[in-house]
Amino acid sequence: MSRVKNGLNAKERQVLEIIKSSKEPITSNEIMRIAPELNKNAVQPALRTLLSMHLIEVADTVLDRNIVSRCFRMTEDAPEIIGELFFEEFKSLQRLADTDVLFAALITNKKGDKSGKAEINDLKKLIDDYKRGK
């Protein structure tokens, strides 16, 4: 978790999203096939960062065209680590913007947008669970 305070850059987030959305562990070549805009010079450093942050792990190795490749999946701890990343970013942004504006941004895209009902209900459930000690 050495980079928790630094967060993830766009390419690291994209690679993590691809790994998360994959039903099975995935190789770097498969990541590049899914996102052709990412090349080896983008994917490999992103994987190293995600591994060092304990967001992903090597799940297996496979033989792919006479090359041994590692397969990656998210770690069990990834959701908690991502929560820490979010909290650190939120605290940082809190120094720059009003808290009510930040909370509004969690549930809407713009002022007056009423599309965030599901998010509001999720937040209410989280608050209720928190109050009950869950």
What is the C-alpha to C-alpha distance for residues 3 and 24, in angstroms, rounded to an integer?
A: 26
Provide the pairing of β-strand 67-74 with 56-64. Answer: antiparallel
CATH of the domain spanning 10-75, picked from 3.40.50.720, 1.10.10.10, 2.60.40.10, 1.10.150.130: 1.10.10.10
Higher pLDDT, 64 or 61: 61
Write the pLDDT tens digit of every residue in 11-24: 999 999 999 999 99
Say whether 68 sits in a helix, a strand or coil.
strand
d(CA 69, CA 38): 17
Distance CA 49, CA 69 (A): 18
- Please tell me the distance from the alpha carbon of residue 64 to that of residue 107, in angstroms, as a whole number: 43
Q: Can you give the pTM of this predicted structure?
A: 0.74
Mind listing the pLDDT tens digit for each residue in 90-130? 888 888 888 777 777 777 766 566 666 677 777 788 888 88
